[in-house]
Every structure is written in structure tokens, then in C-alpha cells.
Amino acid sequence: GEDTPDVAQTLLNLGMIKFHQNNFMEAHEIFKQAFEIYKTAHGEDHKDIAQTLQLMGMNMRSNRQPAEAEKLLEKAYSLCKK
């Protein structure tokens, strides 16, 4: 199906390619798609959500948006501690 965790993982991989190509806006949109799929599949307190938030935070930091990056990374950190 279109909204499975496997699809979300593939989107994360694609987003990482875009990230490494310095295409931060496209990477962000792809990471958001993966986030929404994982949220639907697992809820908001799952390790896949934490991983996705980490990638989104790194992407925002690289895109010179440190305040947004900090929010995303803090949320990822709090999920990892659970």
C-alpha cells in the first residue's frame, strides 16, 4: 500500500539523497510525507517518528533554520528517552 512503514522508510532514503544533494526544501517535503505515514501507522511516540524528526532537524540545521532544527531535535530526543 501507499501508506505503509516500508513506503515511509523508502521516502526517508530518498529524502537523504536530496539532503546530500543540498536540496533541503525537497528533502523537507519528503521527510514530512514519511512523518505523516509513520504517525498514521504508529502514533506519535514511536522510534520511527524519532528517527524522522532527527532527519528533519538535521535538514533544517543545514538549511540555516536553527530554531526549527532545535525544536525538532528536542522532540526526537524526548522520544528516544522513553
pLDDT digit string, tens, across residues 47-74: 999 999 999 999 999 999 999 999 999 9
Q: What angle do CA 74, 22, 32 make, to 5 degrees?
A: 45
Nearest to 29, CA basis, from 48, 15, 13: 15
What pLDDT score was predicted for residue 82? Answer: 80
Range list of H helices, the chain: 5-20, 24-42, 47-62, 66-80
